[in-house]
């Protein structure tokens, strides 16, 4: 998993940085709706970057063997395992926070609010409740959505303000934005270690709100724009001075940008939109072409790379105590960055005795990547055998053949 995460970083970081800049600088030329639509490039790029890849398969049946012998005791650190645990901790932590926030909203919508009627035509599946912990209307839920409004909604806002604000939430409802927000949260959880992911998430949510504002005010009058802006400011003031479970009005930069965009609507240039579509398509096509599956290349024994970093296994305590010897045959792949992947134990003797330490050691081996056509390639079907020996081999003799190498194994 950690290898896959590293492989995604270059293209993902480039795209996220581009979208962040576009959201900040190009909204006046492209418009909020176009900026919001461009975020679709993120999942499309992930798909394009993970198409079946060209691989190099091993067509000979050689087993590359290494003799391991007992040496002095040394402490080793499993770096891959530590990174995997660190990533998993962050991943689960973010999902837990998201689930907790959603649970709070669910409890607020179903157990701490009262049902109300708005007097506005709404979808039959949309329930409306009110609660005094909110500063403005909020849409909760993905499949069984609930519209939450603050207590005193009818007295605090004019009829036209109420209609405009409810229309904003209906745009979220019909567009399925809460489902997209779930996917965005999952994306953040997977790539939480990349700072651009967090900046992109905020930019995504901001462009989502701006796109809804643009849809609501598409054919509005100047009076509507002023009235709507005043309603947003009022919600923001209440959000800053009262407890709120969740409010899309409390983020200062987002609120300033929403009001600025209402005051100075975008002057959309078709050429700019066409250029952004062309650049996005070119990026996706380039990544996809680089990852399209081709006929696997077969290489002979002489051209197979050897490890450049080989971590010493640790001899099992029980086996050392019982003077037990054995061997483990493993098959694995070499990724484009030279790390090992898809490690499988093919055969071991005695069974299960040396399997764990062999896999743990092989996970930390690093190979020089195989380069073909100027590109690093994934290699598959490589087989090694680790022979665990209690006694050193006599000088000039081999355990099996002349290609056997010795590596020390820790007691």
CATH 3.30.1360.120 fits 297-410, yes or no: no
Spatial contact of 2 and 87, defined as CB atoms under 8 Å apart:
yes
pLDDT confidence of residue 247: 54
85: Cβ contacts below 8 Å, ≥ 6 apart: none
Spatial contact of 69 and 386, defined as CB atoms under 8 Å apart:
no
pLDDT confidence of residue 263: 82
Closest CA to 385 of 348, 352, 411, 342: 348
Give CB contacts under 8 A, 24+ apart, made by 271-274.
Answer: 272/26, 272/29, 272/30, 273/30, 273/31, 273/34
pLDDT confidence of residue 191: 92
pLDDT confidence of residue 104: 84
pTM of whole model > 0.75? no
Spatial contact of 45 and 12, defined as CB atoms under 8 Å apart:
yes
What does each of the 411 residues of the chain score in pLDDT, given as a tens digit?
666 787 788 888 988 999 999 888 888 888 888 889 999 989 988 888 777 655 555 555 566 777 777 654 434 444 445 777 888 899 999 999 888 888 888 888 888 778 888 777 888 888 888 888 777 888 888 888 888 888 888 888 888 988 898 999 999 999 999 999 999 999 999 999 999 999 999 999 999 999 998 998 888 888 888 888 888 888 877 764 443 434 566 567 777 888 888 888 777 777 777 877 888 777 777 776 666 644 445 555 445 567 888 887 888 888 888 888 999 999 998 888 888 889 999 999 898 889 999 999 999 888 887 776 556 778 888 888 888 888 765 444 433 333 344 444 433
pLDDT confidence of residue 28: 83
Q: For the chain, which residues make up each domain, given as ranges?
A: 78-268, 297-410
């Amino acid at each position: 998993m950690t290898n896959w995460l590293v492989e995604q970083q270059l293209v993902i970081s480039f795209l996220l940085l581009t979208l962040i800049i576009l959201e900040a600088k190009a909204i006046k030329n492209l418009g909020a709706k176009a900026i919001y639509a461009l975020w679709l490039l993120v999942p499309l790029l992930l798909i394009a970057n993970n198409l079946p890849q060209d691989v190099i398969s091993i067509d000979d049946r050689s087993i590359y063997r290494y003799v391991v012998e007992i040496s002095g005791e040394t402490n080793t650190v499993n770096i891959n395992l530590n990174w995997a645990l660190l990533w998993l901790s962050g991943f689960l932590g973010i999902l837990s926070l998201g689930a907790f926030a959603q649970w709070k909203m669910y409890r607020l919508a179903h157990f701490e609010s009262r049902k109300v009627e708005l007097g506005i035509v709404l979808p039959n599946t949309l329930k409306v409740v009110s609660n005094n912990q909110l500063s403005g209307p909020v849409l909760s839920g993905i499949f069984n959505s609930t519209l939450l409004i603050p207590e005193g909604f009818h007295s605090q806002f004019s009829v036209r303000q109420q209609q405009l604000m409810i229309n904003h939430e209906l745009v979220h409802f019909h567009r399925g934005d809460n489902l997209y927000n779930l996917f965005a949260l999952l994306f953040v959880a997977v790539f939480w270690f990349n700072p651009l992911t967090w900046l992109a998430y905020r930019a995504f949510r901001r462009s989502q709100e701006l796109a809804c504002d643009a849809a609501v005010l598409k054919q509005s009058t100047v009076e509507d724009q002023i009235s709507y802006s005043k309603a947003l400011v009022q919600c923001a003031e209440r959000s800053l001075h009262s407890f709120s479970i969740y409010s899309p009005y409390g983020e200062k930069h987002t609120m300033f940008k929403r009001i600025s965009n209402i005051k100075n609507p975008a002057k959309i240039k078709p050429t700019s939109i066409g250029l952004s579509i062309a650049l996005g398509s070119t990026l996706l096509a380039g990544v996809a072409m680089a990852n399209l599956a081709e006929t696997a290349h077969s290489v002979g024994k002489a051209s197979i790379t050897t490890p450049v970093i080989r971590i010493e296994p640790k001899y099992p305590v029980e086996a050392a105590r019982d003077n037990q010897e054995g061997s483990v045959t493993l098959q694995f792949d070499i990724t484009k960055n030279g790390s090992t992947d898809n490690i499988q134990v093919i055969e071991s003797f005695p069974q299960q005795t040396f399997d764990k330490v062999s896999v743990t050691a092989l996970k930390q081996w690093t190979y020089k990547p195989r380069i073909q056509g100027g590109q690093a390639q994934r290699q598959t079907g490589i087989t090694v055998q680790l022979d665990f020996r209690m006694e050193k081999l006599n000088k000039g003799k081999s355990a099996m053949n002349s290609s056997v190498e010795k590596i020390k194994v820790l007691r």
